[in-house]
Amino acid sequence: MDKRYMKRILFILLFTVFAFSSFNNVVFAKDSPPEIAAEDAVLIDGTTGEILYSKNPDEAFPPASTTKLMTALLTLENTKLEDKVIVGKNPPSAEGSSAGIRENEELTVKDLLYGLLFVSGNDCANALAEHVGGSNENFVVMMNKRAEVLGLKNTHFMNPNGLYDANHRSSAKDLALIMMELAKHPEYSQIATQNITYNIIPANNTAVIHPVSNEIQMVWKGGKYYYDGIEGGKTGYTIQSLFSYVISARRNGQRLIVAMHSSTKNYYPDSIKLLNYGFNNFELSKLYSKGDKVSDYRVDDNLTIPLLAADDFYYVKEKGSNIVPQIAINNKDLKNTSFITGDMLLDANVTLNDSQIGSLKLQSGSDHILKSVGASGSTTLKKASVSILKILAAIFIGLVSAVFVLRTIIIIRRRRIRKSRGGIREWNRFR
């Protein structure tokens, strides 16, 4: 047999033996990301916002009725479910999908949210916008300000319902971040996960009924696309906007959010693929709870201050991984600064696999009050202010006392003068 051929066989045998002998030490890689039909998509962890899968996540597109997630968010942030709403003239005439509400009907915010989330009612979106913002125009201003606060980079709203407008846009990542904020409100999930027919009945005309049913198939128990742990979702479609979809699901304390935009109506299978990929391969871990000791800060040779986590800190890791994030504290000189327990002192950068995954604010676990009168800091300033107030108070009291004494002296002298004049008159009378 050819020697070169023998060498190849020997190499293959040696490699096989080595592979099997090392089998117990193999760290299995996570599953490959799924193939999906959507052109733009993102999967994020709903607690940390970390991106677990992305495909053109920042590509701007017309979001259609997924716009209503922002409408729902502002509604829940600014109203109560029991608040009364009198439907104005304009909402019933809204184009597109409708819950059938009528002018002058007295409804609750809860009624309108059912119509908004169940049948994507543009009439309900406009009624909520007028109730919360006073007008559609003012509400749109609120939408864009909220988008700015959330850090949305590719979003601009022109209306509260999602009807097509060339300047009305968002992205998969931005829509996922809106859902991340909305999912913090339990009222949203309580409504969005119900597979029922809800009857909108005006309080001022109970003979009228507007029935609405949940159109999101992933909440239909027993249905083809039902997903265990679903928290709610929103579809969107117009001819110009094409298909968009956002969904939130929670399992074992971990929330995952999918957002996508597609030219085909394949968002349910795509969403299930991405959610399964996320739950099967990643897990949410807590590094610190609020109040946990993170480290110590040495003020001087005689004093060390415990540094406490100001908030809970979570991170996402691959399932089965034992990697723990690293903490790097941004130290600064606090010797000449007064602080008390609970004051924010320092920041810490948190890194995982050499990549920064967040920052953690650190609070003081004890007091450090400067005794020196000349020391800088708020405590010294407060002491100086108190001293000045005491001096001013003493001066005021002194002035009041002086005025009182002077007034008393004047009164006594006047009385003496009167008595003196009276005596002279009496002497002249008896002369």
- 120 catalytic per annotation: yes
Q: What is the mean pLDDT of residues 397-424?
A: 69
Candidate list 97, 98, 120, 338, residue with the active-site label = 120
Candidate list 68, 173, 234, 273, residue with the active-site label = 68
DSSP string, 44-62: EETTT--EEEEESTT--B-
**Which band of pLDDT confidence, cut at 50, 70 and 90, is reported for residue 112?**
very high
Indicate the average pLDDT of the chain.
86
pLDDT tens column, 342-370? 888 888 889 888 788 888 999 888 887 87
8 Å CB contact between 65 and 235: yes
Q: Which amino acid makes up residue 1?
A: M
pLDDT at residue 110 above 90? yes
DSSP string, 334-357: -TT--B-TT-EEEEEEEEETTEEE
With vertex at residue 127, the alpha carbon angle to CA 122 and CA 133, rounded to the nearest 5 degrees, is 120
How far is Cα 324 from Cα 331, in angstroms, rounded to an integer? 22
Measuring CA to CA, which residue among 162, 135, 176 is closest to residue 48?
Answer: 176
pLDDT at residue number 395 = 79
Measuring CA to CA, which residue among 275, 279, 295 is closest to residue 287?
Answer: 295
| Predicted structure pTM score | 0.77
Candidate list 65, 98, 248, 262, residue with the active-site label = 65
The top-scoring range by mean pLDDT among 5-14, 304-313, 411-420 is 304-313
pLDDT at residue number 26 = 30
Q: What is the mean pLDDT of residues 158-178?
A: 98
Query: Structural domain boundaries of the chain?
Result: 40-282, 289-364
- 364 catalytic per annotation: no
Q: Which range among 10-19, 244-253, 279-288, 319-328 shows the weakest confidence by mean pLDDT?
A: 10-19
Percent of the chain with pLDDT strictly greater than 90:
61
Q: Which residue has the higher pLDDT, 67 or 358?
A: 67
**Which band of pLDDT confidence, cut at 50, 70 and 90, is reported for residue 387?**
low
Q: How far is CA 300 from CA 46, 311, 336, 370, in A?
A: 42, 27, 11, 13
pLDDT at residue number 21 = 34
How far is Cα 371 from Cα 288, in angstroms, rounded to an integer? 34
State whether CATH 3.40.710.10 applies to domain 40-282: yes
- 68 catalytic per annotation: yes
Side-chain-side CA neighbours of 136 within 13 Å: the count stands at 17
pLDDT tens column, 260-310? 999 999 999 999 999 999 999 999 998 899 999 988 888 777 778 899 998
Residue with tokens 């999101």: 216
Q: Which residue has the higher pLDDT, 346 or 414?
A: 346
